[in-house]
Amino acid sequence: MYTEHEELSRREFIKGVGVAAAAFSAALGSTAAAQEAKAGSDRLIRVGIIGPGNQGRKKLMANAVRIPGVKFTAVCDIQSSNLEAGLEVAGEGAKGYEDYREMLDKEDFEACIIAVPLNMHAPLAIAALQAGKHVFCEKQMGRTIEACKDMLRAQRASGKLLQIGHQRRYNPTYHHALKLMKQGVLGEITHIRALWHRNGSWRRRVPNDHPELERLINWRLYEESSAGLMGELGSHQLDVCNWFLDSTPLAVTGFGGLDYWKDGREVYDNVNCVFEYPNGVRITYTSITTNAYDDYYEQIMGTEGTLILTHEDEGLLFRERRAEKLLWEKMAHKEEVGGKQAIVLDASATPKKKGEARGPGEALGEKGEQEDPYYLELFDFFRCIREGGEIFCDGEVGLRSAATCLLANEAMEKRQVIEFNEEHFAV
Ligand SMILES: NC(=O)c1ccc[n+]([C@@H]2O[C@H](COP(=O)([O-])OP(=O)(O)OC[C@H]3O[C@@H](n4cnc5c(N)ncnc54)[C@H](O)[C@@H]3O)[C@@H](O)[C@H]2O)c1
């Protein structure tokens, strides 16, 4: 005998990718079938980018140029090497600028991608919105809570779209995991452990003949331009916590320090935080730079199971001994991990019935390389521009994640418990 809930879980699980796709498309308010039906669904969108550096060029441009109907017509960077490299990816006809204001004044592109150091997100995004562009801005949304709120205000005043680059929000594996979690396979969620552990200095090489570029190239290491490990790494993972728990934290405390890489940097090289969420859920978050054994993952713990999302592309489900067996467990793909049996979440393995509607994540996932969540987040950004759709990872989401991380930094600096209130998360 299986409960109705278990039977539903079984059917949903067997549907495999359908689970992820359904969640993805429901969340995004779209299906590929609907997209195809829309006339002009691949009409040309002219795009400008500010900051074709590591992320802007190697991830965002590299993926965006594969999306049908997307053309970079303008590229802006204050570092000539990155400007040239960005123009190369943009291809024929793109114009280069060192000054973003000049680019925004002169160029009539529709969408602007912003991938510059954190403290420049707000001024550039606001300028682009005021110039009438739809904006895709990398995470963390802004250097301060007020900067994020200014971005939101500018977005609302402009009537344009603003998307923040938390790519996990567009990852079919995460949608699959959330759907299973909502079905109750973890029981009651009581704890989350999220972490990102590395062993390295986080320092980038500065060319010998250009020592003046140190602060620009190593912007992550300095207070003015960076919110440190919480902003760069934690903001993705705390966004997952806010998303999966459908809430924001009540309080945070923690310890952090600059204890190992004492090389003139200003941000902590290790952070250790505890967040309290509603219903007694507690989250521990750590990010360190002196030991990479744990790597990175989000581990969601409930009374009946544990879900581990790791490397942004793998989901493992471990059922507790006390949990009642689900029928579909027998059929699930399993692996032995650390002496325990794990059910492997595979958001793209199971074939679909012919003619069944497909969501964007799923339809794209079929094409291998296009499973890349950077592709998926950008694809959906352009889809929303073309169809007038709602952005899934919008400025409100970005603000909630940023506020979560920025107050954690404040708690560590003051060595206090900081209580959150509604004002932190809303404009
Ligand atoms: N989503 C992710 O997983 C992810 C991963 C890495 C980085 N990022 C984000 O991407 C952004 C960029 O990070 P990165 O590693 O590519 O940094 P980067 O230093 O490699 O690139 C930033 C580029 O911006 C340029 N720039 C700085 N100020 C500028 C200005 N005023 N006008 C024009 N260009 C300017 C720099 O010259 C540089 O080329 C950051 O917000 C970072 O948090 C996101």
**CB 172 less than 6 A from any atom of ligand 1:** no
419 assigned to some structural domain: no
Q: Which of 54, 87, 148 to mutate to test the pocket of ligand 1 (most atoms within 8 A of CB)?
A: 54
Mark whether 219 and 328 lie in a shared domain.
Answer: yes
Q: What is the pLDDT of residue 40?
A: 54
Same domain, 161 and 178: no
**Domain stops at, among 142, 168, 194:** 168
- Structure tokens of 314? 């793998």
C-beta 231 within 6 A of ligand 1: no
Q: Is residue 375 one of the residues assigned to a domain?
A: no
Instruction: Give the ligand 1 atom nearest the CA of 167.
Output: 1
Tell how far the Cα of 178 is from the centroid of ligand 1, in angstroms. Answer: 30
Residues 6+ apart with CB under 8 A from 354: none
Is residue 51 lining ligand 1, measured as CB closer than 6 Å?
yes
Tens digit of each residue's pLDDT (9 = 90 or more) over 161-181: 999 999 999 999 999 999 999
Nearest residue (CA) to ligand 1, atom 28: 116
Residue 101 CA to ligand 1 centre (angstroms): 17
Same domain, 196 and 315: yes
Asked whether residue 85 is assigned to any structural domain, the reply reads yes
Clarify whether residues 310 and 277 are in a common domain: yes
Whether ligand 1 lies within 6 angstroms of the CB of 54 is answered as yes
Ligand 1, residues 116, 311, 375, 397: which to mutate, most atoms within 8 A of Cβ? 116
Amino acid in position 179: K
pLDDT tens-place string over residues 73-110: 999 999 999 999 999 999 999 999 999 999 999 999 99
In order along its 427 residues, the chain shows pLDDT tens digits of 334 344 334 334 333 333 333 333 434 433 343 444 344 577 999 999 999 999 999 999 999 999 999 999 999 999 999 999 999 999 999 999 999 999 999 999 999 999 999 999 999 999 999 999 999 999 999 999 999 999 999 999 999 999 999 999 999 999 999 999 999 999 999 999 999 999 999 999 999 999 999 999 999 999 999 999 999 999 999 999 999 999 999 999 999 999 999 999 999 999 999 999 999 999 999 999 999 999 999 999 999 999 999 988 899 999 999 999 888 888 889 999 989 999 998 776 444 444 443 344 444 444 444 478 999 999 999 999 999 999 999 999 999 999 999 999 999 999 999 999 999 999 9
Scored b (16 or more CB within 10 A) or e, 15-51 reads bbbbbbbbbbbebbebbbebbeeeeebeeebebbbbb
Same domain, 213 and 99: no
How many CB atoms are closer than 10 A to CB 382?
Answer: 23
| Ligand 1 atom 34: residue of nearest CA | 77
The CATH number for 156's domain is 3.40.50.720
- CB neighbour list of residue 359: distance below 8 Å, 6 or more residues apart: 20, 21, 22, 24, 25, 26, 28, 30, 31, 32
Q: What is the pLDDT of residue 174?
A: 93
Atom of ligand 1 nearest to the CA of 165: 1
For ligand 1, say whether the CB of 228 is within 6 Å of any of its atoms.
Answer: no
Query: Quick check: is 134 in a domain?
Result: yes
Do the strands 189-197 and 334-337 form a parallel or antiparallel pair, or are they unpaired? unpaired
Please report whether residue 426 resides in a domain. no
79 lines ligand 1 (CB under 6 A): yes
Q: Distance from the CA of 138 to the center of ligand 1, in angstroms?
A: 8
Q: Is 232 in the pocket of ligand 1 (CB under 6 A)?
A: yes
Cβ-contact 232, 408 below 8 angstroms:
no
235 & 337 share domain: yes
Pocket test for ligand 1, best of 75, 138, 216 (most atoms within 8 A of CB): 138
DSSP for residue 327: G
**Considering its fold, how many domains does the chain have in total?**
2
Give dist(CA 227, CA 229) in Å, integer.
Answer: 7
Cα distance between residue 111 and residue 113, in whole Å: 7
Separation of CA 216 and ligand 1 centre (Å): 10
Is residue 378 in a domain? Answer: no
Domain C-terminal end among 147, 168, 189: 168
Q: Which of 168, 192, 224 is at the close of a domain?
A: 168
Asked whether residue 420 is assigned to any structural domain, the reply reads no
Let me know: does 383 contact 389? Beta carbons within 8 Å: yes
Looking at the fold, whether 196 and 207 belong to one and the same domain comes out as yes
Ligand 1 pocket member 73 (CB < 6 A): no
Q: Comparing C-alpha atoms, which of 5, 6, 24, 30 is closest to residue 347? A: 24
Judgement on whether residues 75 and 210 belong to the same structural domain of the protein: no
Tokens representing 220 are: 């992550």
Report residue 255 as tokens.
């310890």
Containing structural domain, residue 45? 33-168
* Ligand 1 atom closest to the CA of 124, numbered from 1: 31
One domain, residues 106 and 217: no
Q: Is the CB of 96 under 6 A from ligand 1?
A: no
The amino acid at 125: A
CATH number of the domain at 297, please. 3.30.360.10
> Both 273 and 199 in a single domain?
yes
Hey, how many other C-beta atoms are within 10 angstroms of the C-beta on 378? 28
**325 falls within a domain:** yes
pLDDT of the residue at 348: 62
Length of the chain: 427
> Ligand 1 within 6 A of 269 CB?
no
* Ligand 1 atom showing the smallest separation from residue 166 Cα: 1
CA distance 398 to 142: 8
pLDDT of residue 42: 79
Let me know whether 199 and 331 are in one domain.
yes
Mutate which of 49, 55, 222 to test ligand 1's pocket (most atoms within 8 Å of Cβ)?
55
Q: What is the pTM of this model?
A: 0.89
Q: Is the CB of 86 under 6 A from ligand 1?
A: no
Give distance in angstroms: CA of 117 to centre of ligand 1.
5
User: Burial of 78 by CB count in 10 Å (0-12 exposed, 13-18 middle, 19+ buried)?
Assistant: middle
State if residue 3 touches ligand 1 by the CB under 6 angstroms criterion: no
Q: Which of 178, 158, 45, 226 is nearest to 395 (CA)?
A: 158
What gap in Å lies between CA 301 and CA 292, rounded to an integer? 22
Rounded to the nearest angstrom, the distance between the alpha carbon of 218 and the centre of ligand 1 is: 10
For 348, list phi and psi in degrees, rounded to 5.
Answer: -140, 10
What pLDDT, on the 0 to 100 scale, is given for residue 330?
Answer: 85
Tell whether 346 and 232 lie within a shared domain.
Answer: yes
Distance, CA 116 to ligand 1 centroid (Å)?
Answer: 3
